[in-house]
A and B are shown apart, each in its own frame.
Chain A
Amino acid sequence: MSSTTLDYKKKDFVSDQEVRWCPGCGDYAILNGVQQAFAGLGVAKEKFVVVSGIGCSSRFPYYMNTYGFHTIHGRAPAVASGVKIANPELDVWVITGDGDALSIGGNHLIHAMRRNLDIKVLLFNNRIYGLTKGQYSPTTVPGMKTPSTPYGSLDAPFNPIAVALGAGAGFVARTVDTQIPHLRGIVEAAHKHKGFAFVEILQNCVIFNDGAFDHVAAKDVRDDRQVDLRPGQPLLYGKDLEKGLRITPDDIEVCAPEEATLWHSDGGTGASAFRLCQRPELGEIPVPIGIFRQVERPVLEEQIHAQITAATRDLGEGTLESLLGAGETWSVE
């Protein structure tokens, strides 16, 4: 295929299906950002497979003009694993939500992370069950009143970034639904990473959890309440990047920009990533977005196919004849 045919526009990734999210849903912005990003990845359109589970976010594949697979609740990473192992040439993306990925599908998510298949997971975290009308989710802030927690939620929530770091995901990042240039950049970086990539997208649910991330993502606080983790760059934030963060052995402190810690996402600061992601969102330290970790390690489907190649080289390609002739046989005349 010539390179000109890969010169896609965003509209090439827009399907003919009517989008049915609630007006004002953060998913619209994410869809827009992902379509823009896909157009620029240099991958033939037919190679994309977008796999989802169940939930509002999981309607996503219907709106992408690619191969799309809307599976069942929680199972998208397992389906995607089968897709990628069977055909490693495909560009496999999983779209999931906080309930889908961290509750009913938690097992599949952590095992896909540990195995390090070259698949990309975009988790839309709105901290609520939207499609089933507003129950608390595994990322809901404690105390929140929902239909299933009329006296306030008691469950301690998961921190998706901490889960991903703990389960060994090679690429771990966070972005925000409405910050489309940042989202595009993260999607591109995830794609570039060879191996499993996990992206948490902070997403607003206008109906059941409106403003859940206003303290992080609202335009008027964003500059002071977010710090973008950029590999190889100092930890700076503020409107004019006039503030810095310094990571010490005992603490994380606000400091002058020239004293800010240089962010290494490639392994050396694994512990820092873990500490950073778990700081209270309303504390002094801003909420980190960007790339927490970016470490390459052997990719499962490549290793599987390498074993097959080696066995075929050593034993010869198995045929129907060799299959039937195997084992200790005897003849009856």
Chain B
Amino acid sequence: MPKEIPLQQLEEVIIRFAGDSGDGMQLTGNQFTNTAALLGNDLATFPDYPAEIRAPVGTLFGVSGFQVRLSSQEIHTPGDAPDVLVAMNPAALKTNIEDLKEGGMLIVNTGNFGPRDLDKARYEENPLDDPQLEERYQVVAIDLNEATLKAVEGSGLSNKDALRCKNMIALGMLSHAYSRPLEGTEEWLKQKFANKPAVLDANLRALHAGADIADNTELFRVRYQVPRATLPAGTYRNIMGNQALAMGLVAGAKLAELKLFYGSYPITPASDVLHALSRYKNYGVLTFQAEDEIAAVTSAIGASYTGALGVTGTSGPGVALKSEAIGLAVMLELPLVVVDVQRAGPSTGLPTKTEQADLLQAVFGRNSEAPLPVIAPSSPADCFEAAIEAVRIAVTYMTPVMLLSDGYLGNGAEPFRVPAAADLKPFPVRHAETVEGFQPYARDPQTLARPWAVPGTPGLEHRIGGLEKAENTGNVSYDPENHERMVETRERKVMGVAASYAPTAVHGDAEGDVCVLGWGSTFGAIRGAVDRARKAGLKVGQVHLRNVWPLPNDLREVLSGFRRVLVPELNRGQLNRLIRSEYLIDTVSLPKVQGRPFQSSELLQRIEALCGQEATR
């Protein structure tokens, strides 16, 4: 009889699943996350996968990882170091073991530690034989291959197919160890394999076998429970950034009372936005998978010209291809939302890894003077509201807008407190109809937006294009003074968007030693670091920009309340350059370009160092 395993309460746990890119680690992680979400934990995930869809089995570069942090507290990042590492093969062990916390749990599939597996991971000796491993970690060594074959015996599947269920054994084990019910996963499997009864049966058996193994063996010395998080009241769903962004675009179009057109060309990590929008058919969403990035943006401009909301989505290399057309939209003064789910570059770079290095491309990356507003979501769930904000600005100011997400946000997930429809403020668009006195480039005195007169409207026939316009009439004009006035007017219009921002909020100390100024996906890591610094008694504040360009009108004033401004970014200091050039103030850049997000701990070190410098100055 196995002895009763004690149940231990944890405030939070960070689990990382790591295996071959064909091992189903992303699915396993996602499913574990969904169950945690429904149990009311706060959570954050970080999928980290190779660019190769199925890299050669067992290789170091083929390792796919999924980290999830479950917490009973409100959290903002998937955490720094995992408490638990599931390593499905030697390569996964080698590439992840250094991240595991000292004393953390290592669940390792010994079934994949044969000589060939070790060789592919460039291990000369079996690392599981190293006594240090047991000293440093709680090692749960189990042959998942054998356990899987045993569990699904008689299912009629070939050995090869049967072994594909081993991720379900791992999921079953962890579900049991962390007191997660299996029902949700069962339902999910039933849907996924509805037409493959043999595969469904095998997966269900593997899942339960995993739970039984955890229950009946002494592999686990304790069971854990992470209580519900005390999140603000409301309705929640687990959501990935790209899904939230797609949903925000649909909501934005509804609030503007416009038809949504999405032109896109497949590109990692933005394709999921196209996939999500393609499913919103009953919302009237028109999606167009174009022949290339240029057609994707120009078709969206064509749609905007007809009075729809044209949106195009891509990653950095795609934005480079779209630049000329975005300049056309600046000239035409038509609404357009350009979604850039950034990835590490330049060129093809690290397609599946995250980076924030397209900021200057977004702000300045077009020929001549072509300003446009830039908006950046700060978390996966925030992609929803940021997308609505992008739509609002695009239609209010008749301008292209850049929405800068990134791979970390797009693929990461967290609970999303879903707003009530009534809480979203509509901003209905009215197309021009009045023939009397119509001028295509007349301007609204407040916003400087021109009228949006769409084909099909009798009496408003007019011509637009990329050639410089005469003020008001919009006729082609080569007049030098007119050109200068038009360049200035377009700039004034875009800079005027800042007047519509809410006052800049400071988290933590409104004045003090260090202000950590960030934008986009670094929000969570900065928030974690700032909170820890303040707990330690440091006078630190956080300012996080959603509207990155134009900069908020009160930002300079807010920053002046701090002795130092630290600007962490996943690039070589692009916001830092903007702040310095706009405000002529001394700032401290903290760049990182490893294709990985910041850890709170590395930010905290820098904050402490800066505060320390103050103390000794």
- Listed in ascending order, the chain A residues whose CB lies under 8 Å from chain B are 15, 17, 44-49, 51-52, 54, 61-62, 64-72, 75, 78-87, 89-90, 107-108, 111, 304, 307-308, 310-312, 314-321, 323-325, 327-333
Contact = CB atoms under 8 A, between A and B. Distances in A.
Nearest to B419: A324
B565 to A, nearest CB: 36
A316 B284 CA distance: 11
B236 A46 contact: no
B467 interface: yes
A314 B231 CA distance: 36
Contacts of B255: 320
A46 to B, nearest CB: 5
B429 to A, nearest CB: 14
Given A80-B302, A108-B294, 9 more contacts: A17-B475, A46-B459, A61-B465, A82-B305, A86-B306, A111-B291, A324-B419, A324-B420, A328-B237
B283 A323 contact: yes
Contact of B286 (A17, A304, A312): A304
A116 to B, nearest CB: 14
Contacts of B466: 54, 70-72
A83 B455 contact: yes
Contacts of B304: 82
Interface residues of B, number: 70
Contacts of A111: 290-291, 295
A330 B458 contact: no
A159 B231 CA distance: 67
Contacts of A86: 259, 261, 286, 302-303, 306-308, 310
B302 A67 contact: no
Nearest to B476: A62
A46 B461 CA distance: 6
Interface string B440-465: 00000000000000111111111111
A273 B14 CA distance: 67
A179 to B, nearest CB: 28
Interface in B216-233: 231-233
Contact of B235 (A83, A107, A331): A331
A314 B237 CA distance: 25
B238 interface: yes
A130 to B, nearest CB: 17
A48 B305 CA distance: 13
B280 interface: yes
A3 to B, nearest CB: 15
A330 B415 CA distance: 10
A52 B247 CA distance: 34
B299 A79 contact: yes
B467 A70 contact: yes
Interface of B is mostly: mixed
B427 interface: no
Contacts, number: 207
Contact of B462 (A48, A67, A310, A320): A67
A332 B305 contact: no
B8 interface: no
17 contacts: A15-B463, A46-B460, A47-B455, A67-B455, A70-B463, A78-B295, A85-B299, A312-B282, A316-B282, A317-B284, A318-B283, A320-B251, A323-B283, A324-B420, A325-B418, A330-B235, A331-B235
B141 interface: no
Interface stretch (B34-42, B100-108, B602-610): B34-42
Nearest to A91: B455
A80 B247 CA distance: 27
Nearest to B291: A111
A307 B262 CA distance: 16
Nearest to B38: A330
A82 B281 contact: no
Nearest to B259: A86
Given A86-B306, A328-B34, A331-B235, A308 B282 contact: yes
B324 interface: yes
B433 to A, nearest CB: 12
Contacts of B34: 328
A241 to B, nearest CB: 42
Interface string B284-314: 1110101110110011111111111010000
Contacts of B232: 332
B421 A321 contact: yes
A80, A308, A330: residue with the most chain B Cβ atoms closer than 10 Å: A330
B263 A69 contact: no
A324 B418 contact: yes
A325 B237 CA distance: 9
Contact of A318 (B284, B306, B465): B284
B346 to A, nearest CB: 24
Contacts of A325: 418
Contacts of A52: 465
